[in-house]
Amino acid sequence: MSTFVPKEVQAGLDHARRQSIRNASRLRIETGGASYPVLRMWKTGFAMEAETAPSLRGFVDLHDGAVHLFQCLVVASEEEAGEKRFEFKRLTAVSDRAALDFEKAADAPVALLESKL
CATH value at residue 13: 2.40.10.430
Q: Taken in order 72, 74, 78, 81, is the CA torsion positive or negative?
A: positive
Is residue 104 situated within a structural domain? no
Is residue 52 situated within a structural domain? yes
> Residue 53's pLDDT is what?
82
> Residue 14's pLDDT is what?
77
* Contact between residue 60 and residue 74 where contact means Cβ atoms under 8 Å apart: yes
Q: Is the pLDDT of residue 28 over 80?
A: yes
Q: Is the pLDDT of residue 7 over 80?
A: yes
Q: pLDDT band for position 62 (50/70/90)? A: very high
**Residue span of the structural domain in which 32 resides:** 7-93
Is residue 27 situated within a structural domain? yes
Q: Is the pLDDT of residue 61 over 90?
A: yes
Average pLDDT over residues 41-70: 88
pTM of the model: 0.64
